[in-house]
Structure 1
Amino acid sequence: MHAICSMKFLRDFNGYLSINFQKTLHFSSLFPKPHSFSSSPPPLPGGDLVSAAVTILKHHRSKSRWSHLRSLLTTTRNNHSLLTPSQFSQIALNLRNNPHLALRFFHFTLHHSLSSHSLSSYATVIHILSRSRFKVQALKVIKLAMFEFSDQNSALLEALIKTYRVCDSAPFVFDLLVKACLESKKIDRAIEIYEMLKSKNVFLRTSTCNSLIELVSKSRGCFAGYDLYREIFDLDVDNVGGNGRSGKGISVNANTFNVVMVGFYREGLVDKVEKVWEEMKMFDCVPNVYGYNVLMAAYCDDGRMEEAMRVLGEMKNNDLNVDATSYNTIIGGFCGVGDVMRAEEIYREMAMNGVETTGITFEHLINGYCKLGDVDSAMVLYKDMCRKSFSLESKAINVIVRSLCDVNGVSKAMEFWRMVMKKYEVVSEKESYEKLIKGLCMEGKLEEGLKLQGEMVRDGFEPGSEIYGVFIDGYTKQGNEIMASELRKEMLGKDMS
C-alpha cells in the first residue's frame, strides 16, 4: 500500500513560503513485521525521513506511534546520523497546531537521544508552545535551553528572533525569555535582552518590565530600581505625555508605580514614596488599593497617623475596597504610636464593614496593649485569637512573655512560655530568655534558671555579663560561694577571649 504525504512548512521574515511536495513510500518496508528481514534497510533521504516521521506522528494510533517512530529514527541513526536540528524543526512545525504532540515529540527525542538539538530546534518548540498560549510549558523549555546551552545564552534570543516568523509565534515569547532570566536571578542577562529588543523596536509587556524593576530594586537597591523605571518608561515629569504613555511605546500602569514605591518604602524613604505617588497622579494613572496601602504603611511607620487617615479617607471617597490589609495597616500604626483606643475604633469599624479580621489584626492590638503595660487585655485578645484558630507569630509571643515578666511576674510568664512552646514553633528572642532568667534568679529558682540558660545557648544566644551577674548574686544569697566563684572565673575567661 502506498501513502501520499504532503507537508507545508517554513515561513521567512518577509512572508510565508509554502513548499509542497509528494513522496511515495512503501510503509511495509519501513515497518516490517518482527524478524521478517535479515539486514537493516538503507537510511532514508532527509526529506523522506521528515515525511515519514510526520505521517507516523499525525496518523498512527497513540499506542503504536512512538514505537514505530523510534524504530524509524533508530534505524536511521544506526545507518547514518542523528536527526538533525533542521529535520527536527521541520517535523515539529508540521505539528504546530497540536502543541501537546509537538512537546511530546521533543521530549521523546531528548529521552532517547534521537536528535542533535541546537538552539534553533529549541526555539522552534518554544515558539510552537507560545503561539498556542502554553506559557508554563514554554517557560520550562526556555529554562532547559538556558541550562543546556549555558555558554550560549546570548544566542538564544537571536535564535528566537530568527525563527519567530516561520513559527508564526506570539510576541510574549520574549517576555517569557526575560521571565526565565528573572526567575533564575540573571538580572544582567534580563536587562541585556530588554536592551537588544528595544534596539529592534520590540517592546516587552508592562508586567514584565515591572517584574524586572522589582528584582533590581530588591537586589541592587531602590535607586537602581528607580533609575531603571525612568529609563524603561522614558518618563519625564517636566514634559508629561498623559495617559501613562511613554515615548518608547510602553504603557506605565499603577503596578509600575507600586513596585517603585515598595522599593523606597522597604528602605524607609517616605519622601521618595510620596514623590512617586505624585508622579503617578501627573501621568493620569489611577492608584489601586495596593498603592494606597503602601502609602499608608509608609506614613504609619513614620508615625504620621493623620496623613495615613487622610489616605484611608481618600480610598473611601473613591469607592475603593478598603481591605483587611488597609485596616491592619492603620491599626498597626496607631498601636505603634501608643494610641490603642484609636486602633480599637478602627478594629470595630473593620468588623462593622464586614471585613474579616486576620492574625495580624490581633498581633497589632496585642503589641499595642503590651506597650501600654496592659497585659490582661493582651491575654484576652490572645485567647480570642485561639478561639478563631489564628496562630500567634513568634514576635508577638516574645512581647507577651516580656510583658508578663514585668507585670505579673516570672511564674505567669514561664507558664505561658511553656504552653506556647508546645503549641507553636516559636523563634525565641534573646531578650525574652534574659527576662525569664533574671526573674527566676531573683526568685531564687537558680536550677530552673540554669536549665533555661542551657536552652538559650542551644538557640544560639551566649549569656552576657548581666546574666552571669544575676546567677552570681543568686548563688551568693544562697551562700554557695563555690558556685559563685566558678561563675566569676568563667565570666572573666569569656571577657578575655
Structure 2
Amino acid sequence: MDAVRCAPNAYTYSILMAGLCDRGSLDEARQLWEEMAAKGIRADIVAFNTLIGGYCGAGEMGKAEELFRGMVLDGIAPTATTFDRLIRGHCKVGDVDTALLVYRDMKRKGFGMEVSSADQLLDEMRERGMVAEALEILREEMRREGFAASRKSYQVLIRGFCEKGEVEAALKLQAEMAGKGFEAGEKVYDSFITAYERVGNIQMVERLKAEMVEMGANVKGD
C-alpha cells in the first residue's frame, strides 16, 4: 500500500480490500483494515460494507457482526447493502432466526432486500418449514416499489407448499407465476408430481409427466 504514489484514503483501501475479499484472502483484507486505522484514516460505510461482505461471503458471521456493531458505535448508519449482506451471510450458515432479526431491523429503517437475497432467505425458510411466513415476507417486499418477485421466488414457495401437502396454495402461486410471464419449468412440475405421488393421485402424476414430455423436459424416474 505504501507504494501507491497518491495519499491513500478509505476509498482506496476499500477497492484493495474488495479485491482481496473476492479472492477469499480475508486475513490480508483485515491487515489493510488495521493499516488504515493505524494511519488515522477513518473507515467509511463503503469500507465497512466491503469487509462485512467479505466475512459474510465466507460464513464468518461472528466477525461480520462485530464489525457491524463497531460501525454503529462509530456513528455510521448502515445501508441497505449492509443489511443485505448480513442476511445473505446468516442464510449461508443456516441461521434463519438471526437472518430474520436482521431483516426486521432492515425494514424498521426503511430498507428492502435485493431479489437474490430474498430468494435465499425464502429458500432457507422453506428448509425450516416456514413456508407461510416466507410467503408473507415475499408479499411484504412486493409491496415495495422497485421489487419484483423472481421465477425462483415462486419455485421455492411452490416447492415448500407441495412439501407440506398444501397443493391448493401451491396451485394459486403457480397461477400467479404464470400471470407474470414465468413458465413453470421442471422444478415446479417435479414439486407437484412429488406432492401428488405422496397422496396417491396417480392420474395427476401421469398427466403432469405427459405435459413434461410434451415440453421436452426430463421426467424423473422415467
TM-score for both structures, normalised by structure 1 = 0.41
Identify which of 422, 432, 437 aligns with 2:153: 432
Superposition RMSD on alpha carbons, in Å?
Answer: 2.2
Tell me, yes or no, if structure 1 residue 494 matches structure 2 residue 179: no
How many residues of Structure 1 are paired with residues of Structure 2 in the alignment? 217
State the partner residue of 2:106. 385
1:325 alignment partner, one of 43, 46, 53? 46
- Per the alignment, residue 220 of structure 2 pairs with none
Deviations 1:417-469, CA, capped at 9 Å, x for gaps: 22322245433333332221111112222222122123334444433333212
Aligned equivalents of 2:153, 2:15: Cα separation in 1? 31
Structure 1 Cα separation of the partners of residues 65 and 20 of structure 2: 19
Q: Is the 8 A contact 2:141 2:147 kept in 1?
A: yes
- Within the alignment, does 1:354 sit opposite 2:75 as a pair? yes
**Compared CA separation, residues 415 and 483, structure 1 to 2 (3 A):** same
- In the TM superposition, residue 479 of structure 1 has moved relative to its aligned partner by 4.5
Instruction: Give the Cα–Cα distance (whole angstroms) in 1 for the partners of residues 147 and 175 of structure 2.
Output: 17
Counterparts of 1:353 and 1:418, CA distance in 2? 35
Alignment of 1:482 onto 2:197: no
Counterpart in the other structure of 2:64: 343
Sort the Cα spacing of 1:456 and 1:372 in 2 relative to 1 into closer, same or farther, 3 A. same
For 1:108-187, list aligned pairs within 5 A: none
The answer to whether the Cα contact below 8 Å between 1:359 and 1:385 also exists between their aligned partners in 2 is yes
Q: 1:350: how far off?
A: 1.0
Measure how far apart 1:377 and its partner are: 1.0
Instruction: Identify the residue that residue 231 of structure 1 maps to in structure 2.
Output: none
Partner of 1:368: 89
Query: Which runs of no fewer than 5 residues in structure 1 stay unpaired?
Result: 1-276
CA distances 1:177-236 after superposition (whole Å, capped 9, x unpaired): xxxxxxxxxxxxxxxxxxxxxxxxxxxxxxxxxxxxxxxxxxxxxxxxxxxxxxxxxxxx
Q: Contact between 1:402 and 1:435, CA under 8 Å: does it hold in 2?
A: yes
What do the CA deviations read for 1:307-354 (whole angstroms, capped 9, x no partner)? Answer: 111111222222223101101111111111011001111111112222
Bigger-Rg structure (1/2): 1
Tell me what 1:412 maps to.
133
Alignment of 1:207-246 (within 5 A): none
Percent of aligned pairs sharing the same letter: 38
CA gap of 1:337–1:488, structure 2 versus 1, over 3 A, is same
Q: C-alpha distance in 1, partners of 2:170/2:58?
A: 34
Q: Is the 8 A contact 2:44 2:76 kept in 1?
A: yes
CA offset digits 1:342-386 (Å, max 9, x no partner):
111111111222222212111111111111111111111111122
Question: Any idea what SS the aligned residue of 1:495 has?
Answer: coil
Residue-by-residue CA offset, 1:113-146 (whole Å, 9 max, x unaligned): xxxxxxxxxxxxxxxxxxxxxxxxxxxxxxxxxx
Name the residue aligned to 1:287: 8
Q: Which letter does structure 1 place at the counterpart of 2:120?
A: V
Q: Any conservation in 1 of the 2:138–2:149 contact (CA below 8 Å)?
A: no
Partners of 1:373 and 1:407 within 8 A in 2: no
Is the 2:56–2:86 contact (alpha carbons within 8 Å) kept by the matching residues of 1?
yes
Tell me what 1:448 maps to: 169
Residue 476 of structure 1 and its aligned partner are, at CA, apart by 3.8
Return the alpha-carbon distance in structure 2 between the equivalents of residues 375 and 477 of structure 1. 28
From the superposition, tell whether residues 424 and 372 of structure 1 become closer, same or farther in structure 2 (CA, over 3 Å).
farther
